[in-house]
Amino acid sequence: MVQNERSNFGSKLGVVLASAGSAVGLGNIWRFPFETGNHGGAAFILIYLACVLVLGIPIMMAEFYIGRRARANTAGAYRKLAPGTPWCWVGRMGVLAGFLILSYYSVVAGWPLEYLVEAATGGFAGKEADQFIDSFNAFASQPLRPVIWLLLFLIATHLVIVRGVEKGIERSAKVMMPVLFILLVVLAVCAVSLPGASAGIEFLLKPDFSKVDGSVLLGAMGQAFFSLSLGLGCLCTYASYFRSDTSLPRTAFNVAAIDTLVAILAGFIIFPAAFAVGIQPDAGPSLLFITLPNVFQQAFGSTPLLAIALSLMFYVLLAVAALTSTISMHEVVTAYLHEEFKMSRRKAAVWVTLGCTILGICCSLSLGVGSSYTLCGMTLFDIFDFVTAKIMLPLGGFLIALFIGWYVDRRQVEEEISNHGTLKVHIVRLLLFVLRYVAPVAIGIIFINELGLIHL
Ligand code: TRP
């Protein structure tokens, strides 16, 4: 394919790392553990893994196809591939979902910065599990501090976005991802060897299928989409910068494997530690932040300097992992405004950052001063999470599957997935079968079941 003047990722490793950088983030380290905790443990994880395999990988390949074939932002891509049809609304819904997720995600992305300061000033020393819970609640419900961190975080995202694709996105992913991975392994080993950790390991490994209901299925599916950055055209936008010799199936498998490994590792840090110190696994969004300081305390309490060094490293890396994800969401919306409305990239980025700042502040305040404003028992923060992860992303995935499975000509899919015949790919048939039948039916059943129209 002729490469137009849009920029491209510089190397093959860069492609995998940048996509993995988008996928690996708070979704794995913060959201996966708390959703697992809310939904009863091992059975949820098994269903999650099935969702990654059956829905995640095929839909990721579909997004890669759309992006690289069209070489445009997500809404523009549908217009190029299906001119004059309503398919571009799938892209537009994705842009909206990206904007909404970025808003509340940045709130959580700011929290590690507070913990970074806390760790650097020795604030963890001598605290018990209960005190960590109290201090988290006191922090998150304050009006000002979380908002300052949120702002700082959005500004950092903004700066990377205006520096452009290769310099900004690719470089930050290349260095940080491997370091994060090693640190997670170290922390998992520490957590698993805490006294009393075995109950947590059992929670992760012994499925209790009697607890599986519709909300577990929807939760696992939503988490798979969220964690793999699917359903809103994020990886489609990244694929528009892929080189024409990048193998789409291999990249999809690698990204899904890295992402899943990081999530499971995070589980092996959080649950053994939570059970060891008596924190409830269903503590919700605070779970990571109230559990982790205990690991540093308990495992390294006797060598305070090591505890401080490791906790500093962890919070820096968590913030960077979040940053490589926020960049990818910001890029979806910025590329859309830039290409569809002919705004300069810089101006588009400013609008996105400003909009997210306003919505992000509302989400942050909804955890404290605004917590009495609820809808169906959910705060604004919860509503953003629910509507995006559990409705918009799976719906986006459903439509993407239909688009590739039924609308696009299969020869074109074969051509693009095999890089115009230079790669031998045997899976196109299977891929199309899954996208035609399996994915739409599975997502449809989970949705209908959740609406209460049928009961599994
Ligand atoms: N996958 C990221 C994480 O796990 C978050 C994310 C980035 C995302 N881009 C996305 C989620 C697009 C959904 C869609 O933290």
Highest-pLDDT range among 39-53, 238-252, 320-334, 418-432: 39-53
In the predicted structure, residue 293 carries a pLDDT above the cut 80:
yes
User: How far is the first Cα of the chain from the last one, in angstroms, to the nearest whole number?
Assistant: 46
Token digits of residue 404 = 């590739």
Query: 22 in ligand 1 pocket by Cβ < 6 Å?
Result: yes
pTM score: 0.94
In the predicted structure, residue 155 carries a pLDDT above the cut 70:
yes
For residue 2, what pLDDT band results from cuts at 50, 70 and 90? Answer: very low
- Cα of 325 to ligand 1 centre, how many Å? 6
For residue 167, what pLDDT band results from cuts at 50, 70 and 90? Answer: low
Query: 26 in ligand 1 pocket by Cβ < 6 Å?
Result: yes
Amino acid 178: pLDDT: 84
- Cα of 22 to ligand 1 centre, how many Å? 6
| % of the chain surpassing 90 pLDDT | 78
CA distance 302 to 298: 8
Q: Which atom of ligand 1 is nearest to the CA of 26?
A: 15
The string over 97-133, giving b where at least 16 C-beta atoms fall within 10 Å of a residue's C-beta and e elsewhere, is: bbbbbbbbbbbbbbbbbbbbebbeeebbeeeebeebb
Closest residue CA from atom 4 of ligand 1 = 27
CA distance 224 to 389: 9
The residue to mutate among 329, 332, 356, 400, having the most atoms of ligand 1 within 8 angstroms of its beta carbon, is: 329
- Cα of 28 to ligand 1 centre, how many Å? 9
- Cα of 239 to ligand 1 centre, how many Å? 15
Query: 101 in ligand 1 pocket by Cβ < 6 Å?
Result: yes
Tens-digit pLDDT profile for residues 211-233: 899 899 999 999 999 999 999 99
Closest residue CA from atom 2 of ligand 1 = 23
CA distance 275 to 194: 10
Q: Are 257 and 60 in contact (CB under 8 A)?
A: no
CA distance 23 to 45: 18
Mean pLDDT of the chain: 92
Closest residue CA from atom 10 of ligand 1 = 229
The residue to mutate among 328, 390, 391, having the most atoms of ligand 1 within 8 angstroms of its beta carbon, is: 328
The structure tokens 């979806």 sit at 332
CA-closest candidate to residue 200, choices 266, 271, 263, 269: 271
Query: 227 in ligand 1 pocket by Cβ < 6 Å?
Result: yes
Q: Which atom of ligand 1 is nearest to the CA of 230?
A: 14
What string of H, E and C letters represents the secondary structure of 137-199?
A: HHHHCCCCHHHHHHHHHHHHHHHHHHHCHHHHHHHHHHHHHHHHHHHHHHHHHHHHCCCCCHH
For residue 127, what pLDDT band results from cuts at 50, 70 and 90? Answer: confident
What is the 8-class DSSP label of residue 322?
Answer: H
The structure tokens 């217009």 sit at 79
For residue 426, what pLDDT band results from cuts at 50, 70 and 90? Answer: confident
Q: What is the mean pLDDT of residues 158-184?
A: 78
Token digits of residue 244 = 């024409």
* Main-chain dihedrals φ then ψ at residue 378, nearest 5 degrees: -110, 140
For residue 1, what pLDDT band results from cuts at 50, 70 and 90? Answer: very low
Q: Which atom of ligand 1 is nearest to the CA of 329?
A: 9
As a whole number of Å, the CA-based R_g of the chain is: 21
For residue 298, what pLDDT band results from cuts at 50, 70 and 90? Answer: confident
Q: List domains and CATH numbers for the chain.
A: 12-450 (1.10.4160.10)
Q: Are 366 and 374 in contact (CB under 8 A)?
A: no
Query: 321 in ligand 1 pocket by Cβ < 6 Å?
Result: no
Which of the two residues, 455 and 174, has the higher pLDDT score?
Answer: 174
The residue to mutate among 51, 108, 177, 227, having the most atoms of ligand 1 within 8 angstroms of its beta carbon, is: 227
Amino acid 5: pLDDT: 54
Query: 388 in ligand 1 pocket by Cβ < 6 Å?
Result: no
Q: What is the mean pLDDT of residues 289-315?
A: 89
Query: 30 in ligand 1 pocket by Cβ < 6 Å?
Result: no
